Structure 1
């Protein structure tokens, strides 16, 4: 059992990264369910800033717009470089 008297520290950077990851996973799932190529659709959105690239299925369009495009791109690049 954890000690509830101790303060738990959360990194805002970790929380931001987790939110981006979770939101992208939700959007990818919604796009896949509609038969879209999620990579192409998300790339189109990130390049053009046109939300029409993202289906409104399961509120995916609103979910992806909760995060600034530059933050998504930054996180994708960081994730790619960390895995190399």
Structure 2
């Protein structure tokens, strides 16, 4: 008897990684006393990394995400796709 084929989705993995990074960056901004939403919006609109604190490696983490991928993941989540 053969085993069923397992299907992997690179998109689900990417979305999971983006969610993890955003959560960590959000938490770092909050811990440092910033308004995380305002800082993240500033970063997304300008792609200026100085909107993100270096605390906890947050700036390095957020720069691992392509901005187009970030926006796509946010829209998919918002729209429930």
Alpha-carbon deviation of 1:7? 6.5
Q: What is the number of residues matched between the two proteins?
A: 79
In the superposition, the TM-score normalised over structure 1's length comes to 0.86
Partner residue of 1:39 out of 31, 37, 40: 37
In the superposition, the TM-score normalised over structure 2's length comes to 0.89
1:17 equivalent to 2:21? Answer no
Aligned-residue CA RMSD (Å): 1.6
Aligned to 2:73: 75
Return structure 1 stretches of 4+ with deviation > 3 angstroms. Answer: 5-9
Aligned to 2:51: 53
Q: Which runs of 5+ in 1 are unaligned?
A: none
